[in-house]
Structure 1
């Protein structure tokens, strides 16, 4: 059995050996992917990145930056963030404005927090014999950038930026490479940092494509609940958070739609939305491609993985009542890039849905799937 932290390592080496003999692949590299268990989005990106790297013949290790922090600080940070956006979103909005948003002169940063994880990350790199480190969470990006800038991390570091609105905690000049969702974002990062950045597109599994396998099953299930009402997915993320989700569900139902409320792991929210007349409230769903494909549109509040998954499946997305901070900025940025629509009030939401479900014009731009492996191969290659 391969070591726990090197999934499928033996198979990766065998594949790479065969490809090297055929003269078709670079040398095998081992990359440490640093994620964070904040919701499910960052871990999903880390898993897909590791899969693509292994498919290309490389080895991967994965770690959680929150677990690199001492004395359960990471668990406390996650709990505080989750409680803030669920119960006191104005508190998180203030934190975001102070620590994350660019501009306005000197502002506090995450350097003291990142410093607490330095020794443990360096140990993971050394013990795992990693050739490069890839951060997929902004605290991890600050950690690797700080170490590289001070000469305490001998291997190169890359950052996979998962947000559309790139706040300043994603950016550190010490990192060697930034991989972004679009070329516009990459250009912005190059301008702000003067460091290499390229577009790699969203990191989604291949099952997120038009007409996935589970579509017919979900269409039958939703038809039984909807009658003739077009189903509209109301997304609340893995933690089940959002502003006045019950009011949005009532609005959709009164407008002639079937609100399909995706409540994640928030069972209390699922029970509450199940009481809204005409609403189908769901908990955690494993077959997201099929569910998305069976819906007419997605009402999104975070510009996160669900929005990207919907676009990959071919379902239009409307941003509405976004969560504060990165959610609000990301939703507006997606609309500005021509990827989604954005509704500032209930009237615009219904008007947008009416247009989309009647076959009207949808946001015409699609996210291209770029190459994330080759830039990382070059970064990790022996020099």
Structure 2
């Protein structure tokens, strides 16, 4: 039975590409269920110039000053003893514009898909200014404290462990819905044959391994990783995102395929034997959906490092702590083997539920008499 139609407002953030990808796919699925969905960037709700400045600072810190970002993460994101600063002052700056948007669009539910948005809706719900439920879509494996605000009505998480973390921290409803990735990653990829021909012609006999550094090309010693893989007999295929300088630099290396922003990612994933990842973000989830083993290596600081560790601890991926371990893992995971099959099966089990369906059902229960709020 299809749930009654409701209007959902997704509040995402253009920080890289992952949060927007989740929001877009969630909106598409909700519309497929007969719901209405719209999206807004929380950075655009901040006063003019602040959102763009925040994005530029974050991008620079992650790419050029990882020690700085690690310090910020430790202070603002990771739980610790005593009072800890949060993002409340920043979230407060977006309150008026979000409330005005809600007044115009009249959504039945607001869905934060970024931690600053979760702080924003939580503050407004806690004092009664936002009169419709807020259901937070937590996209990280490691749930840091900026995702957590007791004012929000519901949290939807990637794993049962993450959902349990939210319940223990807040005492609020939380459900495990699995990751939200486009359905094309879960289906046979028509473009895989084209990619296999390309790789075979470029470097016959070398197993292709995808190296992912996100939409911004954020990574440590990416060229060194590519050389390491090439020297070990693999064909490194590096996704440089929108960083054309990185792509140009890697293109000069022999036996390295450097790609920019790639639209046929399902076909590409289906043609490689493993993914070397540094953030436990959307590309890692898409690889799990496509049935490709993931190895975390040289993770970016903060949420990237904690996410890579958490994925490995859950048995969804492996974490290589040095070059020797990376090659040892790839030697096993790129060939038919029991460890490879275990990783593929564990990854695909994450996708047993439809996050959009669980969202509509959970929100309906929350809104019912005797519900959570």
- TM-score, length basis structure 2: 0.94
SS at match of 2:211: strand
Matched, 1:140 2:117: yes
Aligned to 1:348: 325
SS at match of 1:178: strand
Aligned to 2:346: 365
Contact 2:66/2:301, CA 8 A, preserved across alignment: yes
Contact 1:202/1:369, CA 8 A, preserved across alignment: no
1:74-129 Cα offsets, whole Å, 9 max, x none, are 00000000011111111111100110011232111000000000011011111001
Aligned to 1:70: 47
Matched, 1:94 2:71: yes
Cα deviation for residue 213 of structure 1 reads 1.3
Aligned to 2:88: 111
Aligned to 2:266: 289
Aligned to 2:29: 52
Q: For 1:32, which of 5, 9, 13 is the aligned residue? A: 9
SS at match of 2:185: coil
Distance 2:186 2:48 in 1: 42
Cα deviation for residue 61 of structure 1 reads 1.6
Matched, 1:152 2:129: yes
Q: For 1:307, which of 284, 288, 293 is the aligned residue? A: 284
Cα deviation for residue 369 of structure 1 reads 3.2
Query: Which runs of 5 or more structure 1 residues have no equivalent in the other structure?
Result: 1-23
SS at match of 1:33: strand
Cα deviation for residue 377 of structure 1 reads 2.4
Aligned to 2:162: 185
Aligned to 1:214: 191
Contact 2:251/2:258, CA 8 A, preserved across alignment: yes
- TM-score, length basis structure 1: 0.92
SS at match of 2:175: strand
Matches within 5 A, 1:314-325: 314-325=291-302
Cα deviation for residue 217 of structure 1 reads 1.0
Aligned to 1:250: 227
Distance 2:153 2:132 in 1: 10
Query: Which runs of 5 or more structure 2 residues have no equivalent in the other structure?
Result: none
Cα deviation for residue 382 of structure 1 reads 7.1
Contact 1:252/1:258, CA 8 A, preserved across alignment: yes
Matched, 1:377 2:360: yes
How has the CA–CA distance of structure 1 residues 211 and 55 changed in structure 2, closer, same or farther, with 3 Å as cutoff?
A: closer
SS at match of 1:207: helix
Aligned to 1:13: none
Q: CA RMSD in A?
A: 1.2
Contact 2:134/2:152, CA 8 A, preserved across alignment: yes
Distance 1:310 1:375 in 2: 23
Aligned to 1:226: 203
Distance 2:188 2:196 in 1: 11
Contact 2:289/2:351, CA 8 A, preserved across alignment: no
SS at match of 1:284: coil
Contact 1:210/1:314, CA 8 A, preserved across alignment: no
